[in-house]
Every structure is written in structure tokens, then in C-alpha cells.
Structure 1
Amino acid sequence: MMSAFYLPVSDGVYRSTEHTVGPWGPDSQHLGPPSALLVRSLQALRPSLSRVTFEVLGPVPVADLTVSTSVERPGRSVELLSASLSCNGRVALTARAWHIVGSDTTAVAGGEAPSLAPPDSAVPMEIPDHWGGGYLAAVEWLSVSGGIFTPGDAQVWARPRVSVVEGSEASPLERLFAVVDSASGVSSRVDIRKWYAINTDLTVHLHRQPVGEWVGMDARTTIGPDGVGVATSVVHDVEGPVGTTAQALFVRER
């Protein structure tokens, strides 16, 4: 088995491995790996990011992907970065990120949500046989409460078992983005064998940069009466909360 979500092919081109395969079919990816791949490219421009918004323009195929990046708005204090991921000339995913130059705000820091129970107090998440392999198997999942196959709010820990790009150690930020798109999955209120609940976007705000391998999500999903849902989470590392996520959901019966 490959040891990464992607294999480097040439400058800006990456080959998708079996570990990227998502729940909707063998030819399309879970959004976690391509999000991490774009964040990796953004970190090559600036190492710290304060907000990243992804727009999902279509399924990300399990194929060779091309990544491009740019600085949209340079500045001394804040900068706007962008990245895109395409296959055969079709853009499937875009990202825009704000980089805020750091300063010492220790004296006024505060307002964080309570910390999650640590990973060593959680239990392995049960994964049914009918939905093994691919991305789900490439990530280690622990449950504090709830989880992917338990409808409703969930508190979980996760860490990728593989690197984002072969031959390159993933940064804590890459690991976080490889996981946080799953907030809508771990807190889903519907059976994905009977319903579609697909996010059209993902926005992540970070009030500090993450550390370590583990990513925690205190996640919840709300579904309205008109086919639209919203999934949110507070994201943690082992030292405490690091930010929040939000996803708009397209909800339809299969």
C-alpha cells in the first residue's frame, strides 16, 4: 500500500492514491486529502494561515492533479493567498487564505472553548465492514462521543496514518486540513446510504497554529426543511482549541 495520499509526479503535479477515495464512489476523493494538498502549497508561500475557504467546483477525481498558487494581495501585515486544483484543465477545488503576520498578544489572549477530553481517553470508532478502505482507513479515528456512524453531534479525534505527499513529512496544518472536512461526516444526521449530504464549501478560521499529530473536532450538523444544512465544529489539538469550521450542505434523498 502507498504511504501517502499523493505521489509527486512533476513540479505542481501529484498522482492520487487509493487513500484519497471518498464515500460517494471509487472515482472521486474525500475532500480532506485535496484540502491538505492545497494547504501544503499555500504553506510554501507563507507558513501560517489564519483563514482558509475552499469552494468545491466539482468532484475531485482519483487521478493526476495540478496545483497552482499565487499571492493575490501582498502586504506588510495581512496577505491574501490563493490556490487551485485541476485535472485535465478542469478546476475542481479552489482555496483562498488570509495570512496574518504574527505579534505577541499573550496579555490579551482568551475566550477559547473548553478543551476536548484527550485522545488517550477516547475509544476506537466502530467502522462497519460495508464502508471500509480508502480515506476512512487512511485515518485513525477515536470517539469521545458519537462518530461517523452514530447520527448527531460528535466529539472525535483523528490523525492521518499516511503523509500528504510521499517523501515529505506532513506539517500539523496539513494534518488538520486532511481531517476537518470530516466534521460534517462525524456529526451527520442522515444515513449516507439513503441520503446525500455533500458540502459545497469549507471555511476554517484559526486563532493559533496547531501542533502535533492529533486533530479533535467538537462537531454538530443542523439540517433545515428545504434541502440545506450547515455543519460546524470547534477544532482542537492536544493543547486545546485552535479554531472553528463551517460547511454548507446539499441534502437530498438518494
Structure 2
Amino acid sequence: MADAFYVPSGDGFSSTDSTAGPWAPDAQHFGPPAALLTRELEGCGDDGGALARITVEILGPVPIAELRTGAQVDRPGKSVQLLSAELRTADRAVARASAWRLASTDTSAQASGAAPALAPPQDGVPFGRPEGWSPGYIDAVEWCALSGSFQEPGPATVWARQRIPLVSGEEPTPLQRLMTIADSASGVSTWLDPTRYLFINTELTVHVQREPVGEWIGLDARTVLGPNGTGTAVSVIHDEQGQVANSSQTLLVRPR
């Protein structure tokens, strides 16, 4: 296992083998790239507000290679800002992200509607990489199942936390931890055997109610498969204090 998912290199980042996804040994799981784009969005423009919605569009496989990032403010404002970011290899864009940053106000007295808190991670059952899945990202994350897992078809409720930093020498921010894990909702809640089927997400959208506290991120996830090769994975995302976000992923589904 590498010391981090990415290592600073010149004006970009070197990807380590710990970013590798389950589909191919030379392509990244999209959790680390989504978090790297979030890191860029967090550092863009006025940081006085909170990122309330992050959408990452996946333009193609992300190779385990040198990457560059950049971000800009597309819609400035005191209360509402629209940001965008891009992730590139030497010759092409591999992902783009957009985010709404909203002004922060104290609405703690009005907070309502959250899902019930999950049982704590220590009540779950540890699990690891299933047979037939490639090493890399899955090994760089600690997994604990309250129900379901990668090995069981159908909905799943799992806890996960990074074993390594996103970027070498840096402590991940709460949102970076969330985004590193959020893309796994489709994997833990799939109905399909990954050795026989592909279920690749084309995007990841996360609506954030508050930043998570602590290292553990909980996914209460389920996947719906349609009859024409598309599906949707949705999740309520938790920390140990309760709900922090909702996520959705559009899936391309087909036999291998």
C-alpha cells in the first residue's frame, strides 16, 4: 500500500497504485479523483461559505499517471457562488466538477428531516476486497458492514475510512474524506457479479447538509437497475453523529 493516493509532483500530482479501481489495474477508482477535484474546489475563490452540492462528470477512465487540476469561479456572489474544476492528464481532460458554494448561516434551531443515525462502526463486521476484484483503492480503505457488503447483492449499509491520506503530507478535509468514499455506494449496493457485469457510473452528485466529523463515513446505499442498460445508485451518507449528505450515481450496465 502506498503512503497516499497522490504525491505532489511539479505543478500536479503523481497517482499511486492505491488509486487503482476494481475494473482494471491501470485505471483509478473514482473516489480519489473526486476527492482531488473537491480539494481544488475548496481552495477556489472565497472560502467563507460551504460547498452544498458537488457534481463530478466522468469523461473517461482516469489512468494511474501524472494529473493536473485547476478551478475557477463561474458565478461570483456574496451568498451564492458556482465553481468549476477540471482534472487532466498530459493530453486530455478526464473529469470535470461543478459545485455550489452557499453563504453559511446558523440554522441549527431549524435542522430537521435527517435519517436516523447508523449503528457505530464497532457494531459492524469488517470485510475486504472480494475475490476477482483488482487491488488498490479497496485495500487502502478500511471497511465495516452493518448489512450487506461488496460480496452480497442488494442494498448495503457500510462504514469506511481511509487508511492513507488523499495527498501525501496533508490531512484530508472533512469533504475530501466524504468524496473519497461516496463513489463506492454503487459498488457496495450492486445486484450484479462484477466478474460478469460492468456497472460503471458516469457521474457522482453529492448534496451536503453539513461537513462530516471524524474519519468514518457511512453509506446507506441501494441500487436500482432499469431494463435498458442504465441504473441509479443512491445513498444517505453519515458520520457517527448522523446524516451529512445524499448522493446519486448514474450507471452504465452491461455484460462483460
TM-score (norm 1): 0.97
SS in structure 2 of the partner of residue 152 of structure 1:
strand
Q: Equivalences for 1:51-70 in 2 at 5 Å?
A: 51-70=53-72
Q: How far apart are 1:126 and its partner, in Å?
A: 4.5
Give the corresponding residue for 1:104. 106
Q: How far apart are 1:41 and its partner, in Å?
A: 1.1
Q: Are 1:9 and 2:9 an aligned pair?
A: yes
Q: Given residue 101 of structure 1, which amino acid in structure 2 is its aligned partner?
A: A
Task: List gaps (5 residues or longer) in structure 2.
Answer: none
SS in structure 2 of the partner of residue 250 of structure 1:
strand
Give the corresponding residue for 2:211. 209
Give the corresponding residue for 1:114. 116
Aligned residue pairs total 253
CA distance in 2, matches of 1:246, 1:189: 16
Q: Does structure 1 conserve the Cα–Cα contact (< 8 Å) formed by 2:59 and 2:94?
A: yes
Q: Does structure 1 conserve the Cα–Cα contact (< 8 Å) formed by 2:60 and 2:95?
A: yes
CA distance in 2, matches of 1:161, 1:136: 10
CA distance in 1, matches of 2:199, 2:135: 20
Q: How far apart are 1:243 and its partner, in Å?
A: 1.0
CA distance in 2, matches of 1:162, 1:242: 22
Q: CA RMSD in A?
A: 1.1
CA distance in 1, matches of 2:128, 2:25: 22
Q: Are 1:37 and 2:39 an aligned pair?
A: no
Q: Equivalences for 1:12-27 in 2 at 5 Å?
A: 13-27=12-26
Q: How far apart are 1:148 and its partner, in Å?
A: 1.0
Q: Are 1:176 and 2:174 an aligned pair?
A: no
Q: How far apart are 1:27 and its partner, in Å?
A: 1.0
Give the corresponding residue for 1:72. 74
Give the corresponding residue for 1:49. 51
Q: How far apart are 1:42 and its partner, in Å?
A: 1.1
CA distance in 1, matches of 2:79, 2:3: 38
CA distance in 2, matches of 1:73, 1:131: 41
SS in structure 1 of the partner of residue 183 of structure 2:
helix
Q: How far apart are 1:131 and its partner, in Å?
A: 2.7
Q: How far apart are 1:133 and its partner, in Å?
A: 2.4
Q: Given residue 82 of structure 1, which amino acid in structure 2 is its aligned partner?
A: S
Out of 76, 88, 91, which is 2:90 matched to? 88
- Post-superposition Cα deviations, 1:112-153, rounded to whole Å, max 9, x if no partner, equal 111111111111024334436200100000000001111000
TM-score (norm 2): 0.96
- Post-superposition Cα deviations, 1:150-179, rounded to whole Å, max 9, x if no partner, equal 100000000010000001111111111001
Out of 202, 221, 224, which is 2:223 matched to? 221
Give the corresponding residue for 1:139. 141
Q: Which runs of 4+ in 1 moved over 3 A?
A: 126-130
SS in structure 2 of the partner of residue 190 of structure 1:
coil
Q: How far apart are 1:228 and its partner, in Å?
A: 0.5
CA distance in 1, matches of 2:108, 2:2: 42
- Post-superposition Cα deviations, 1:185-234, rounded to whole Å, max 9, x if no partner, equal 00001011000100010000011111110000000000011111000000
